[in-house]
Amino acid sequence: MRDVAVIGVGCTNFGEWWDRSFRNLFVEAGVMAIEDANLAGEQIDAMYVGNMSAGRFIEQEHIGALIADYSGLATENIPSTRVEAACASGGLAFREAVIAVASGMANIAVAAGVEKMTDVDTSLSTDALAAAADREWEGFVGATFPGLYAMIATDYMHRYPLTREQLAQVAIKNHYNGARNPIAQFQKEITLDTVLNSTMVADPLRLFDCSPITDGAAAVVVAPLETAKKYTDTPIKVLATAQASDTIALHDRRDISTLDATVAAGNRAFKMAGLERKDIDFVEVHDCFTIAEICAIEDLGFCKKGEAGRLTAEGYTALDGNLPVNTSGGLKACGHPVGATGIKQVYEAVLQLRGDAGKRQVAGAEIGMTQNVGGTGATVAAHIFGRT
Ligand code: COA
């Protein structure tokens, strides 16, 4: 297997875009990434596109072909493949691109993610998102994503010492970071009152415990590490790519407050990279709801079960803390265009490792990690990156 590096990145602003279509968003991010890698489109050997539900959100399927066509690459006949794993679609698309280059099947591969969620009303987007859970056992009886994560939060708060105020600190921190990220959907700091007095969505989760509905796209270009310097002075090495699965329905889990797929993907990633938790300088985790960030920090092994709430409240995961978590603002403040999120996490990791993260730069960042979740944890992708 060859070592692989990220040589170019691009990302649209995340938000509610009435003036840009699904294909416009994708092309915008793709062109940014290709220009960043100093490439011509014809040099691309393969494309992998993360997308969860264009069929429900914009009534368009056959996304791989659509993207190749509107990127101007259909005439090059390059293979273009849609990857679907709910909210982990982007993370898995990235993994496929890395595997293609590592194996020698491709030299230059693009991994992208795109979702246009705001063309439908909230009831339809809620139902489309619920398709990432078990439709027969969860969706048909009315379980929504906020509802399922509320069950995780309730179970967690019953068993571990997490207060409502500590949970709110996840949102406060991520909005603070989002206010320093020019692509974030919400670039506004919030207070404890904002969270605690916001509308109840699914008890105990309030509006400001939830990621929003978002339009956006992100793209990255990967190449063999040995040739990466031909394209960029700052290639970022992919130190590990890992993936894991678990039961799709929450009630079948061994423990609903622990995402075993995160534990497995994290362990595999650390083993592949030959690193320990203490080597990680920052991590982008899948905070689709505030409780998800608490679980992620623990399930990746950065602290013991039951400690993440206290550590968050003490500033351990803040921008200037021991382990900055979600420097981009996370899904909570940066936004969550579901198929694009896993690629946006890679985008953020690359900016941090290049030293290009502006007001949210983690000083001296050498090694970063991403964790991207599909559903309530039935699919998890974990990646580790390092400066070269
Ligand atoms: N956090 C903070 N503010 C939010 C928000 C969020 N998650 N979602 C919406 N808002 C704001 C909007 O900007 C708007 O503000 P404004 O009045 O100042 O313009 C206001 O709240 C109302 O927005 P609206 O779009 O009408 O909200 P909604 O009630 O339709 O949707 C949720 C709110 C929480 C239901 C929706 O964001 C949601 O479903 N989130 C979860 C998404 C999800 O499950 N993703 C997959 C996870 S695995």
**175 is a catalytic site residue:** no
Cα 207 to ligand 1 centre (Å)? 7
Q: Per residue in 329-362, pLDDT tens?
A: 999 999 999 999 999 999 999 999 999 999 999 9
CATH class as words, domain 132-210+239-387: alpha beta
% of the chain with per-residue pLDDT over 70:
100
Main-chain dihedrals φ then ψ at residue 210, nearest 5 degrees: -105, 145
Which of 53, 144, 210, 332 for mutating ligand 1's site (highest number of atoms within 8 Å of CB)?
A: 210
Q: Per residue in 81-132, pLDDT tens?
A: 999 999 999 999 999 999 999 999 999 999 999 999 999 999 999 999 999 9
Q: Nearest residue CA, atom 38 of ligand 1?
A: 212
Q: What are the helix and strand counts (H, E) for the chain?
A: 14, 11
Asked if residues 375 and 84 have their Cβ atoms less than 8 Å apart, the reply is no
Q: Per residue in 154-206, pLDDT tens?
A: 999 999 999 999 999 999 999 999 999 999 999 999 999 999 999 999 999 99
% of the chain with per-residue pLDDT over 90:
99
Cα 201 to ligand 1 centre (Å)? 10
Q: Give me the chain's average pLDDT, please.
A: 98
| Whole-angstrom distance, CA of residue 296 vs CA of residue 269 | 14
pTM: 0.98
Beta bridge partners of 242: 382
Give the atom of ligand 1 at the shortest distance from the alpha carbon of 373: 48
Cα 366 to ligand 1 centre (Å)? 35
Whether domain 4-121+214-236 has CATH 3.40.50.1220: the reply is: no
| pLDDT score, position 180 | 98
Q: Per residue in 7-37, pLDDT tens?
A: 999 999 999 999 999 999 999 999 999 999 9
**Does residue 212 have its Cβ closer than 6 Å to ligand 1?**
yes
Residue 74 has pLDDT above 90, yes or no: no
Residue of 178, 191, 170 whose CA lies nearest to 334: 178
| pLDDT score, position 319 | 98
- Split at pLDDT 50, 70, 90, the class of 253 is very high
| Whole-angstrom distance, CA of residue 108 vs CA of residue 6 | 10
**11 is a catalytic site residue:** no
Q: Nearest residue CA, atom 29 of ligand 1?
A: 122
Domain with CATH 3.40.47.10 in the chain: 4-121+214-236, 132-210+239-387
**Does residue 206 have its Cβ closer than 6 Å to ligand 1?**
no
**Does residue 187 have its Cβ closer than 6 Å to ligand 1?**
no
| Whole-angstrom distance, CA of residue 224 vs CA of residue 239 | 12
Asked if residues 196 and 163 have their Cβ atoms less than 8 Å apart, the reply is no
**Does residue 210 have its Cβ closer than 6 Å to ligand 1?**
yes
